[in-house]
């Protein structure tokens, strides 16, 4: 199982339902939508893709494997942007 947590060098702000994440170490800016912002907030603490998917399904009253696939893709994107750390257990 892999756990993810956001990097402390990243700072985020929400504007009109869109989130802007600044990576101070890499000097990059990443934008994410409202659901991404919800996930970003969860990543203050270690999370698995499954725990994030469950929280999203509960918060947005939805179900399905599409949510799980979207979360996997979202975490991969954050990883490529060097915004999260991860550990394989």
Interior angle at CA 1, CA 11 and CA 69, nearest 5: 70
CA distance from start to end of the chain:
5
Question: What would the pLDDT profile of 46-76 be if each residue is shown by its tens digit?
Answer: 999 999 999 999 999 998 899 999 999 999 9
CATH number for the segment(s) 2-83:
3.90.930
Mean pLDDT of 1-6: 96
pLDDT reported for residue 5: 97
30 CB-contact burial (10 Å; exposed 0-12 / middle 13-18 / buried 19+): buried
With 0.85 as the threshold, say if the pTM is over it. yes
CA gap 78, 58 in Å, rounded: 22
pLDDT reported for residue 16: 92
CA proximity to 47, closest of 11, 77, 87, 13: 87
Residue ranges of domains in the chain = 2-83
Question: What would the pLDDT profile of 28-41 be if each residue is shown by its tens digit?
Answer: 999 999 999 999 99
């Amino acid at each position: 199982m892999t756990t993810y947590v956001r990097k402390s060098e990243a700072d985020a702000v929400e504007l009109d339902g869109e989130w802007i994440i600044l990576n101070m170490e890499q000097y990059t800016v990443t934008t994410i939508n409202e659901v991404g912002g919800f996930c970003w907030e969860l990543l203050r603490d270690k999370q698995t893709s499954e725990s994030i998917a469950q929280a999203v399904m509960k918060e947005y009253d939805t179900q399905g494997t599409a949510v799980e696939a979207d979360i996997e893709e979202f975490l991969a994107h954050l990883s490529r942007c060097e915004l999260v750390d991860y550990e394989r257990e």
